[in-house]
Structure 1
Amino acid sequence: MGRWSRLVADEFVAWLGCRDGLRWVDAGCGTGALSAAVAARCRPRRVVGVDRSAAFVGAARASAPASACFVVGDGMSLPVRGAGCDVSVSGLVLNFLPVPSAAVAEAVRIVRPGGLVAAYVWDYAEGMEFLHRFWAAATAVDPAAAELDERRRFPVCSPERLRSLWTNAGLADVAVAPIEVATVFAGFADLWEPFLAGQGPAPGYVADLAPAARARLRDTLRAAVPTRPDGSIALTARAWAVRGTPVGAAT
């Protein structure tokens, strides 16, 4: 997912349209793709990336721009004082948190009134074409796989749910927008091999399969995807982005 998430991060930061010189927090920063996009586009005064994974933080630090720093911490309890930043963002994280509303409330706490709280998530319900095709193939081979499809597991990843989360958190001027990127694979191997990595719901499912079942899934998926004459596979991926402005005093 990393190659596509970097493209979405850049489009998301452009959509925010923030001025230079602001203080940013990137909650659930992972390996730093969103922080890097902020640093490249917005000339921030400072970007603080926070993630629970020490390995991710280490990777982010290894390629950190001068304006960014990364710390190990919890997105549900950010190491930032109240109203301590201008913009709080998170990328592709909200649906993995146990209580998304608590994470949004924490973001509101750390952003000054008039600042910005924003996030984006993949549109698992309708917009992730290569995942839809994967789970359709998996379900054709193993009907029980339907229960693992992210469309069922991540209901927060919809424009209505995101708008409700931001509005219920007391944010004003709430806006939701789609961000769509092309996901072009050089060939079937380019599409299939990332599913063998073992990290994430779909790769985890593949890792648990017996070799014969894995081969059946591979062949079923190969037959289902649209392949161009040159062997490439052109699909699309969509994320939903949301933003809003704190209007009251921080608590």
Structure 2
Amino acid sequence: MTDRPTEAWTSEDAYERYVGRWSRLVAPRFLTWLPGESSAVWCDVGCGTGALAHAILATQNPVRVLGVDRAEPYLAAARRAATDLRFDTAASGATAIPARDGEFDRVVSALLLNFVPQPAEALAEMRRITRPGGLIGGYVWDYAEGMRLIRLFWDAATALDTDAAELDEGRRFPICRPDPLRALFVAAGLVEVDVGEVTVPTVFADFDDLWEPFLGGQGPAPGYCAGLSGDRRDALRERLRAMLPRRPDGAIPLEARAWTVRGRVR
């Protein structure tokens, strides 16, 4: 059995190069899908470096946005990138949000629910801080199929190391599918539950642009990569390289699909 590598969440630059930049493409499309409400009070749970919070500030005319995350380096990056006085942050986990009952009109999360040990508890906490009639929503990567960057990485890794299948996010995170997401929100007592999808292009300038973020240690796949010996990492790199499509100019055109989910508090 493969030991699970440490999944660090400490470097905002490494995170942005790995998946943050692609989450920033998903965020505004997710907000278009989520019914809007001008002059609302928002909470972004697990805000990371601020992809979703910044999109809210840019497109939703909020009264206030609170970004909540455990990782102070990510919160610092989110604050630096948003000088808007309507944005504030709090260092906290998803199951103990420092807010009053019913304080927010919209509570959202991006790429969070699969990383919470008890997602039902996190959703219950999100419901607590959402006013009656307010909306809770979020999105997660389709690790099993549609997030091609990560899917191809694990396909290459498991071809070389069968034990790597235990670490594959498509296998580890069964919640990242439409039916489990819907069931989670329904079980939380939310109504008008709906699930959708957003697909964005993820075009890499060249192979280095795609590969180097896997060396940054932020998240499961980079954590696995960091734990390999030099020879095994080189073999993985070349296996992945051989699997990728390429344009004549050397660019690598992939796509990333995120599953979206929303529900209303009674």
Report if TM-score (shorter chain) is over 0.5.
Answer: yes
For the residues of structure 1 that align with 2:215 and 2:73, how far apart are their CA atoms?
A: 21
User: 1:75-90 residue pairs with structure 2 within 5 A?
Assistant: 75-90=94-109
Deviation at residue 91 of structure 1 after TM alignment: 0.6
For the residues of structure 1 that align with 2:241 and 2:49, how far apart are their CA atoms?
A: 31
For the residues of structure 1 that align with 2:53 and 2:159, how far apart are their CA atoms?
A: 39
For the residues of structure 2 that align with 1:196 and 1:63, how far apart are their CA atoms?
A: 24
Deviation at residue 17 of structure 1 after TM alignment: 3.0
Does the 8 A contact of 2:20 with 2:49 survive in 1?
A: no
Q: Structure 2: which amino acid aligns with 1:230?
A: D
**Which of these residues, 46, 49, 63, is aligned with residue 31 of structure 1?**
49
Q: Structure 1: which amino acid aligns with 2:133?
A: G
Deviation at residue 19 of structure 1 after TM alignment: 2.1
* Alignment of 1:17 onto 2:51: no
Does the 8 A contact of 2:38 with 2:62 survive in 1?
A: yes
Report the counterpart of residue 7 of structure 2 in structure 1: none
Report the counterpart of residue 231 of structure 2 in structure 1: 212
* Alignment of 1:57 onto 2:75: yes
For the residues of structure 1 that align with 2:97 and 2:157, how far apart are their CA atoms?
A: 38
Report the counterpart of residue 22 of structure 2 in structure 1: 4
Does the 8 A contact of 2:48 with 2:71 survive in 1?
A: yes
* Alignment of 1:123 onto 2:136: no
For the residues of structure 1 that align with 2:143 and 2:56, how far apart are their CA atoms?
A: 25
For the residues of structure 1 that align with 2:30 and 2:176, how far apart are their CA atoms?
A: 16
**Which of these residues, 165, 174, 199, is aligned with residue 193 of structure 2?**
174
How many residues are aligned here? Answer: 247
**Which of these residues, 103, 109, 117, is aligned with residue 98 of structure 1?**
117
**Which of these residues, 220, 224, 230, is aligned with residue 249 of structure 2?**
230
**Which of these residues, 141, 155, 175, is aligned with residue 174 of structure 2?**
155
For the residues of structure 1 that align with 2:35 and 2:87, how far apart are their CA atoms?
A: 19
Deviation at residue 129 of structure 1 after TM alignment: 1.1
Does the 8 A contact of 1:14 with 1:41 survive in 2?
A: no
| Unpaired segments ≥5 residues, structure 1 | none
Q: What fraction of aligned residue pairs are identical, expressed as a percent? A: 54
For the residues of structure 2 that align with 1:20 and 1:191, how far apart are their CA atoms?
A: 38
For the residues of structure 1 that align with 2:90 and 2:117, how far apart are their CA atoms?
A: 21
SS at match of 2:137: strand
SS at match of 1:195: helix
**Which of these residues, 222, 226, 250, is aligned with residue 203 of structure 1?**
222
For the residues of structure 1 that align with 2:153 and 2:69, how far apart are their CA atoms?
A: 29
**Which of these residues, 157, 170, 176, is aligned with residue 138 of structure 1?**
157
* Alignment of 1:185 onto 2:204: yes
Runs of 4+ in 1 over 3 A off after TM superposition: none
